[in-house]
Amino acid sequence: MFSSARSSLTAIAKRQFASPRTRNASSLADTLSTLKGEHFMTIDQLTNDELKGLLNLSQKYKDIYSDKSNPNPKPLDGDSVSMIFQKRSTRTRVSTETGMALLGGHALFLGPSDIQLGVNESMRDTASVLARFNSLVLARVFSHSDIEELAKYSTVPIINALSDLHHPLQTLADIMALQQHFGADLEGKTLAWVGDGNNVLHDLMLGCAKMGMSVNIATPTGYEPNAEILEKTKQLAAENGGVISTTTVAADAVKGADVVVTDTWVSMGQEEEYAKRVKDFDGYQVNNDLMGKANPGAVFLHCLPRHPEEVTDEVIYSDQSLVFSEAENRMWTVMAVMAAQLGKVE
């Protein structure tokens, strides 16, 4: 589940829930009521029911707000979110600002020139001040310790919009895209990750495991995912009927996969490593040949922005690609998270 903003001045709350497989919420609002006032830090903080509830609410919002023929509800009228960006992002900024406006609220962008976390003002003071102005604080940061410190001192819910360890909002958008293509039940599907064992992979493999999917991970030697998060993913997979496997051979991971995913090989802040990383990832480009080793009807995901060394035009612009639905879903899913955190799910 989310970690608590209400008690975070002393510690990030940890609560135990009954097995999500035995929980029978009477409605979507009931299912997500446990998330009111909570921080959103990682996907594995959610129970299985909460994860599925957020995905259901995201699809509900897409259905409602895509229909321009009727007045749209404004459940977050009077609410606001501060958006702290240490790292730039087209999709995160546009999806959050637009989504908050659709819900009737206001979003405020704070870039590096507006706010320097822990530099001119302590993290604790920043969290305390923003919490007095805003209903929510979304932060896209370099270090996961920064998002944890914000959550520790904020009295309003924090949203982790990306850190060096986790990217839970992206996982919601990815899984939503897969549900839109394959149907709500993803149990038994296999996802292949081909590339860097990074923050995007961390939450995606956790989320897939919770959905009953298997995950095949191919990374070059030295680019493996975080060992602790990988072990946690294996435990979740065992609980939900999936299997997690690792390899250094891209073709081996893709064999038998229903979904093929990659991400940038060179993240922001790693530009000086570009030449080395491109060399290390030789053979990891997702192209027609690699996609041909996956199951018939396999689809492709990439969280964007993409570079040609990672995936060819023939794949990303093909009928197999769900990339742009995936990008659109960033808005519907952040809308669901914000509404759930504020306890205003209608």
Report yes or no: 135 and 81 within 8 Å, Cβ to Cβ.
Answer: yes
The widest CA-to-CA distance across the chain, in whole angstroms, is: 54
State the Cα–Cα distance between residues 217 and 242, nearest whole angstrom: 13
State the Cα–Cα distance between residues 40 and 53, nearest whole angstrom: 14
208 is catalytic: no
Say which residues have a Cβ less than 8 Å from residue 168's Cβ, sequence separation at least 6: 40, 41, 42, 43, 160, 203, 207
CB-count burial class (<10 Å; 0-12, 13-18, 19+) for 27: exposed
Report yes or no: 38 and 341 within 8 Å, Cβ to Cβ.
Answer: yes
**Cis-peptide into 20, omega within 30 deg:** no
State the Cα–Cα distance between residues 324 and 203, nearest whole angstrom: 20
- Out of 43, 127, 303, 340, pick the active-site residue: 303
Residues marked active site are found at: 303
